Amino acid sequence: MSYIGIALFTAIVFLDCQSVCRSFDTGFTLGEYFMYLYGGIKKYVPTPGEPFKVPYLWLLNHLLILYFTLNYTSADLNGFGQQTIYRSGGRVTWWLSKCSWQVIAICMYYFASWAVLVLLAVASRETITLEITQNVHLYLDFGKTLIPFEQIDLSTELLLLPLLFTVSIGLMQLTLSIIIKPAFAYIISATICIMSSHTQSPLLFGNYAMAARCNKVITDGMNATVGEVSMITLSVLCVALGAVRFRRYDILSREE
């Protein structure tokens, strides 16, 4: 059911974006539909008369996926998972299998979302390319771009970095869920997403998942390579720390 939920959410986003382009009597490329969902917002600079605009679609994409993958591990520990641990040959093996499931599940959510965008774009006879044109200004204020729009290639920022961000935060959330209650782990994940949208900082990895804040668009933007390395490092650290923690995890006490 959760995959149906993410597919419906993506379809609604597509139709909303399409209504925007129709209001301006223009067509969008597939890349601009991706930008509408994954692009985020430009760097926010507090100024009088310019309130912060919450990137609802960007936030909902990450928060929905993180919510859908929240309780599987904790629920499994209270059920068949205990038998699996005893039969799998060790706690570390079980933990690594759950981390693998987390990564695969998040990737599947993204693939489902991408498939919906592509299918609807094909059905609507849109231009099937990831090229970003000046039409993007109809719904997203890029500010001053570094290079002409016809030369902008944001493939990595639109496809890889949002996925990497959700994976890294998902693994962090999974690790936290065996230290604190899953609900609190989710609150921490949501807080990181919200803070990332408000403040541009290399310590808030959500900034790397916003194409509108990349250094191909703004002079002080985020570097995609640094983002990839940072989020992969966070993922590896979370898996390792989780393995150490789970070796001493009191399953029976936690269940009670």
> What residue spans define the domains of the chain?
2-255
- Tracing tokens 């990137």 back to the chain, one arrives at 55
- Tracing tokens 């068949």 back to the chain, one arrives at 80
Token code pair at residue 23 = 């209001």
Return all residues near 146 (Cβ < 8 A) that are at least 6 apart: 215, 216, 217, 218, 219
- Tracing tokens 């803070």 back to the chain, one arrives at 195
Return all residues near 234 (Cβ < 8 A) that are at least 6 apart: 168, 171, 172, 205
- How many residues in total does the chain contain? 256
Q: Is the pTM of this model over 0.85?
A: yes
Mean pLDDT computed over every residue of the chain: 85
Token code pair at residue 80 = 């068949």
- Span 130-135, mean pLDDT? 80
d(CA 79, CA 100): 19
pLDDT, position 21: 76
d(CA 235, CA 165): 9
- Give per-residue pLDDT as tens, 83-106: 555 555 577 888 898 899 999 999
